[in-house]
Structure 1
Amino acid sequence: MSRTVNLNEKLALFSEHWSPKIVADFNGNDVMVAKVKGEFNWHSHPDTDDFFLVLKGRLTIKLRDGDVVLGPGEMYVVPKGVEHCPVAEEETHLLLIEPAGTPNTGDAATAATKVQI
């Protein structure tokens, strides 16, 4: 039987921003935690939606037609193909779910390497 995953313990294992860490596999999807701060880059994912759940802090997801602001316990799904830019004024902790192998920038050449912790 699998062990439980304590997200706070996993988040305590690293300090870098915008570098998602895989904590579980769910039906072919990577379940990840990430610490973010500052502005990411504008990007889209042509083949998959982008799931964000804020665990701690505040995240603004800039969209071309208006911003979505999330606080702890709030989630948002960016539909596939929609250009977006996540921004965190303060360090923010996220839970992310996406198909295994999906580049976080939408482009494998510029994506962060995902590791399991």
Structure 2
Amino acid sequence: MDTVDLEDAFAAFEERWAPRLVASLNGQELKVAKLEGEFVWHSHPEADELFWVIDGDLTIELRDEPDEHLSDGELGVVPAGVEHRPVADGLAEVVLFEPAGTENTGDAEGTGRTSEVQRLED
């Protein structure tokens, strides 16, 4: 059985907006990411995306709905096809859960913010 210590996982890298793969199961991927500042508006037409804030504060801005604010220990799911933009005021350590192969920028092209997911080194 594989185990992951989230504290160690977050301590293993410094890059912002560059998710690290920590586990895969049933066609889904569990990633950790350090977020700070604003990301780009995007959607994932075929995939729900879960944001679970481990430490910090994260706002999920939604194009046609009220913003959602998440703090330590809270999670939220952005449904497939909903345009959103994560914004972290300060550093937020976040767990992401989504289908394997989901790009962090979804359907947004030419932003220069797409990050190839790297497996977290053991």
TM-score, length-scaled by structure 1? 0.94
Pairwise CA RMSD of aligned residues?
1.3
Correspondences of 1:1-117 after superposition (within 5 Å): 2-64=1-63, 65-107=65-107, 111-117=114-120
Deviation of the 1:4 alpha carbon: 1.5
The answer for unaligned runs of 5 or more in structure 2 is none
Deviation of the 1:107 alpha carbon: 3.8
Percent identical residues: 49
Q: What does the per-residue CA deviation read over 1:47-84, in whole Å, with 9 as the maximum and x for residues that have no partner? A: 01111000000000001221000001101000100000
Q: In structure 1, how many angstroms separate the alpha carbons of the residues matched to 2:84 and 2:95?
A: 17
Q: Which amino acid aligns with 2:9?
A: K
**Counterpart of 2:8 in 1: which secondary structure?**
helix
Equivalent residues, number:
116
**Counterpart of 1:60 in 2: which secondary structure?**
strand
Deviation of the 1:90 alpha carbon: 0.8
TM-score, length-scaled by structure 2? 0.90
Runs of 4+ in 1 over 4 A off after TM superposition: none
Q: Which amino acid aligns with 1:50?
A: E
Q: 1:108 to 1:89 in 2, by over 3 A?
A: closer
Q: What does the per-residue CA deviation read over 1:3-23, in whole Å, with 9 as the maximum and x for residues that have no partner? A: 311011011010000000000
The answer for unaligned runs of 5 or more in structure 1 is none
Q: In structure 2, how many angstroms separate the alpha carbons of the residues matched to 1:20 and 1:41?
A: 15
